[in-house]
């Protein structure tokens, strides 16, 4: 696979072109506020690790020897922070949930001389109040990415890219400007799948003529979400190939090409702002006879001072017939002479040397009763209910990180008595803490762990909840076993209650036969500013501690069902997420509701058979629900169901 993308990955070492000098003195530190994540007591527990008492979840890179002075080579120290503890490494491990890690960078400038290799189930987080800089040294010796999210081995990618789940990188500056402009250095190599994110990252690349720098390279996977990224310079700021992705709030300055789309099935861009580039988005990969880009949706965005906004390979007879679909909606142009360029440098949509707005335009197949028909031209924009908008764009809101909070504003559930060991029943203590935190307007911090519950957890209005490396709520026991009388694992608000909450970085799961479990029941009505859920996922089966793995729930391809009965021990949920009639005002971003199709802990990632009845059911009568970068998979009856709802 790597050879296929050699033009984007052929970085062996710096060229002979003179680059920027390596710094010879420690940069003067700027005044930086502390960040609570650095100073809170670190007591996360990997409950199903072979040695939970000895395994370290939180790792501060300075504890492993990183200096962060911009002069010392911190490569080995950073790598040690990632690898320590027998973690799941590329090539030798397919995937695992038993070795989670938060790798934390205090403020500083961290000089690296070769690629940092990411491991499975890792959250790499910088000080939000003073973004740490990861800087490639002038003698950077190669490797695919300053941060390599999936290192290649002899047989291809070290992790199967469609199975790389549950990881993040946020709050950083990636600086490539010490490296020669003509060296094809990459900031982040990120072939990845669901429940992953890049957030709040600045990429600094050379803007010199002939620059070969690129910020993000993705060639494979089944993503995925990114937001709040800023790019300066580069040849191709982003080079992207993946089954699907949602990306929003991306800002590009002075790249040759802002986005080079290699391939996809479907890609959504929202609130992308492209400035002073030669090309905004190039989706012509493969040419008109072998288009490799399936579909792109590009909305609520702007392109300025860029000669060509978008390049496509689509026309009336391009192949494959269904490829090359492009939908534009609410795209503002300023000095973009060609808005959309087709094959052979034809003009599919003229631009302007002044300012204009593309209300709605598209090309591709129109599926009508008499279709499909190939179309290219203006289309009617989708109706936009005012309650879903902020200005003329769809509302959006980034995951809160509570940068202004200090330790007095936070309650740790483990410090307050919860176990999180996957064995102790934490139902009562967690309900008390949820009530206490909401009443006192404090942030409730779930230290990493598996919190076993045998009854419903109630989240009251006013709650702010954040996990650590996807802390798990693990529902178990007879209370959740009756599919004729389903019960919520997590209940947000009571029917008729109003107010709002914020909830991020957690997983809700089940253990064993829990056919009556509704993993999340959302009753709360928020008017005005909505409630928000970010990186909160449901995971049913296939992981250590679930009792729903290969040993308990193998596939049975030679047994017809019916007449053979379904294995009742592998019926693990009634529904993943229920937005009830009384609910309103809910913003969900990067939420993955997954019924496992394979055993994550098995070396061969062997398929298993898990049953969960329903995915996401939305019957909110008032609506005002935003689903941004959500995915629902492998439920029996449906993935998404909308009934008697709107907006």
Quick one: pLDDT at residue 336? 99
Mean pLDDT, rounded, for 190-200: 99
Name every residue whose Cβ is closer than 8 Å to that of residue 185 and which is 6 or more positions away in sequence: 11, 136, 140, 146, 176, 179, 212, 213, 214
B/e letters for 410-445, b = 16+ CB within 10 Å, e = fewer, are: bbbbbeeebbbbbeeebbebbbebbeebbeeebbbb
Mean pLDDT, rounded, for 191-220: 98
Mean pLDDT, rounded, for 400-421: 98
Mean pLDDT, rounded, for 185-203: 99
Q: What percent of the chain has pLDDT over 90?
A: 93
Q: Is residue 23's pLDDT more than 50?
A: no
Give one DSSP letter per residue of 79-113, joined into a string: HHHHHTTT---TTT----SSS-EEEEE-SSEEEES
Mean pLDDT, rounded, for 229-238: 99
* Range of weakest confidence among 32-36, 94-98, 488-492: 32-36
Query: DSSP secondary-structure letter at 498?
Result: B
Q: Is residue 441's pLDDT more than 50?
A: yes
Distance CA 81, CA 350 (A): 52
Contact 113, 139 (CB under 8 A): yes
Quick one: pLDDT at residue 5? 76
Give one DSSP letter per residue of 302-363, joined into a string: EEES-SEEEEE---TT-SSTT--EEEEEEEEEEEEEEEEE-GGG-EEEEEEEEEEEEEEEEE
Contact 226, 204 (CB under 8 A): no
Mean pLDDT, rounded, for 410-417: 99
Distance CA 500, CA 372 (A): 44
Place of tokens 């370290």: 56
Classify domain 407-642 at the CATH topology level. Pectate Lyase C-like (2.160.20)
Would you call 627 helix, strand, or coil by DSSP? strand
Contact 131, 106 (CB under 8 A): no
Mean pLDDT, rounded, for 41-64: 99
Distance CA 239, CA 205 (A): 14
Distance CA 590, CA 585 (A): 17
Quick one: pLDDT at residue 16? 40
Mean pLDDT, rounded, for 533-552: 99
The whole-angstrom distance between residue 45's C-alpha and the CA centroid of its chain comes to 23
CATH topology agreement for domains 1-247 and 407-642: yes
Q: How confident is residue 27, by pLDDT bands cut at 50, 70 and 90?
A: very low
The residue among 25 and 304 whose pLDDT is bigger is: 304
Domain edges within the chain:
1-247, 256-379, 407-642
Q: Is residue 26's pLDDT more than 60?
A: no
Q: What is the pLDDT of residues 350-394, one digit of tens each?
A: 999 999 999 999 999 998 898 889 999 999 999 999 999 999 999
Name every residue whose Cβ is closer than 8 Å to that of residue 386 and which is 6 or more positions away in sequence: none
Mean per-residue pLDDT of the chain: 96
Quick one: pLDDT at residue 361? 99
Distance CA 133, CA 172 (A): 6
* CATH code at 1-247: 2.160.20.10
Quick one: pLDDT at residue 11? 53
Quick one: pLDDT at residue 579? 99
Distance CA 424, CA 451 (A): 8
Q: Tell me the CA distances in angstroms from 311 to 222, 315, 326, 513, one per residue in order.
A: 24, 12, 11, 52
Quick one: pLDDT at residue 30? 54
Q: What percent of the chain has pLDDT over 70?
A: 96
B/e letters for 224-257, b = 16+ CB within 10 Å, e = fewer, are: bbbbbbbbbbbbbbbbbbbbbbbbbbbbbbbbbb
Contact 564, 602 (CB under 8 A): no
Q: What is the chain's Cα-based Rg?
A: 25
Mean pLDDT, rounded, for 599-612: 98
Q: How confident is residue 4, by pLDDT bands cut at 50, 70 and 90?
A: confident
Would you call 137 helix, strand, or coil by DSSP? coil
Kind and range of the H or E element at 431?
Answer: helix 427-440
The number of helices, as runs of H, and strands, as runs of E, in the chain is 4, 42
Q: What is the pLDDT of residues 114-141, one digit of tens each?
A: 999 999 999 999 999 999 999 999 999 8
Name every residue whose Cβ is closer than 8 Å to that of residue 221 and which is 6 or more positions away in sequence: 161, 162, 164, 191, 192, 193, 242, 243
Predicted TM-score (pTM) of this structure: 0.96
Name every residue whose Cβ is closer than 8 Å to that of residue 283 and which is 6 or more positions away in sequence: 261, 293, 296, 310, 311, 312, 313, 324, 326
Mean pLDDT, rounded, for 297-307: 99
Q: How confident is residue 7, by pLDDT bands cut at 50, 70 and 90?
A: confident
Q: How confident is residue 2, by pLDDT bands cut at 50, 70 and 90?
A: low
């Amino acid at each position: 696979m790597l050879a296929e993308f050699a033009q984007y990955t052929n970085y062996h070492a710096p060229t002979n072109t003179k680059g920027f000098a390596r710094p010879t003195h420690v940069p003067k530190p700027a005044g930086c506020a502390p960040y609570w994540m650095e100073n809170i007591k670190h007591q996360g527990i990997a409950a199903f690790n072979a040695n939970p008492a000895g395994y370290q979840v939180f790792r501060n890179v300075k504890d492993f020897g990183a200096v962060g002075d911009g002069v010392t080579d911190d490569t080995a120290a950073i790598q040690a922070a990632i690898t320590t503890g027998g973690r799941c490494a590329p090539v030798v491990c397919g995937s695992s949930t038993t070795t989670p890690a938060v790798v934390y960078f205090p403020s500083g400038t961290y000089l690296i001389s070769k690629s940092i290799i990411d491991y499975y189930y890792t959250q790499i987080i910088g000080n939000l109040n003073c973004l740490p800089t990861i800087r490639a040294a002038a003698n950077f010796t190669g490797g695919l990415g300053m941060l390599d999210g999936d290192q290649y081995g002899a047989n291809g990618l070290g992790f199967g890219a469609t199975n790389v789940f549950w990881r993040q990188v946020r709050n950083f500056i990636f600086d490539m400007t010490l490296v020669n402009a003509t060296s094809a250095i990459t900031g982040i190599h990120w072939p990845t799948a669901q429940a992953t994110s890049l957030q709040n990252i600045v990429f600094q690349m050379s803007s010199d003529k002939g620059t070969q720098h690129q910020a993000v390279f993705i060639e494979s996977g089944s993503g995925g979400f990114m937001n709040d990224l800023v790019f300066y310079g580069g040849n191709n700021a982003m080079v992207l190939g993946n089954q699907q992705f949602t990306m929003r709030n991306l800002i590009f300055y002075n790249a040759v090409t802002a986005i080079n789309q290699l391939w996809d099935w479907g890609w959504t861009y929202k609130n992308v702002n492209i400035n002073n580039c030669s090309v905004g988005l190039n989706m012509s990969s493969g040419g008109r006879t072998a288009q490799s880009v399936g579909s792109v949706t590009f909305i609520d965005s702007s392109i300025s001072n860029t000669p060509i906004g978008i390049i496509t390979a689509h026309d009336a007879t391009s192949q494959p017939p269904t490829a090359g679909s492009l939908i534009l909606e609410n795209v503002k142009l300023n000095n973009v002479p060609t808005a959309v360029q087709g094959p052979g440098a034809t003009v599919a949509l003229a631009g302007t040397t002044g300012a204009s707005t593309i209300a709605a335009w598209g090309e591709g197949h129109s599926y009508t009763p008499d279709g499909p028909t190939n179309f290219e031209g203006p289309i009617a924009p989708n109706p936009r209910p005012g309650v879903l908008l902020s200005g003329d764009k769809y509302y959006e809101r980034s995951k809160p990180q509570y940068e202004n909070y200090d330790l007095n504003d936070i309650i740790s559930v483990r410090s307050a008595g919860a176990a999180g060991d996957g064995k102790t029943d934490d139902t009562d203590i967690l309900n008390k803490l949820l009530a206490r935190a909401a009443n006192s307007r404090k942030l409730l911090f779930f230290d990493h762990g598996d919190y076993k519950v045998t009854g419903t957890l109630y989240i009251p209005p006013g709650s702010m909840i954040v996990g650590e490396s996807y802390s798990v709520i693990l529902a178990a026991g007879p209370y959740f076993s009756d599919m004729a009388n389903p019960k919520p694992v997590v209940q947000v608000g009571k029917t008729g209650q109003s107010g709002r909450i914020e909830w991020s970085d957690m997983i809700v799961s089940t253990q064993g036969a829990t056919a009556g479990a509704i993993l999340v029941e959302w009753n709360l009505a928020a008017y005005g500013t909505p409630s928000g859920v970010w990186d909160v996922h449901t995971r049913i089966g296939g992981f250590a501690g679930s009792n729903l793995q290969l040993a308990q729930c193998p596939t049975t391809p030679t047994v017809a069902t019916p007449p053979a009965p379904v294995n009742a021990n592998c019926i693990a949920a009634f529904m993943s997420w229920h937005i009830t009639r009384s609910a309103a005002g809910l913003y969900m971003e990067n939420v993955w509701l997954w019924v496992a199709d394979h055993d994550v802990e098995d070396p061969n990632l062997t398929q298993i058979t898990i049953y969960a009845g329903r995915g996401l059911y939305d019957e909110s009568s008032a609506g005002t629900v935003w689903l941004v970068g959500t995915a629902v998979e492998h439920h029996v009856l449906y993935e998404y169901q909308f009934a008697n709802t709107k907006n």
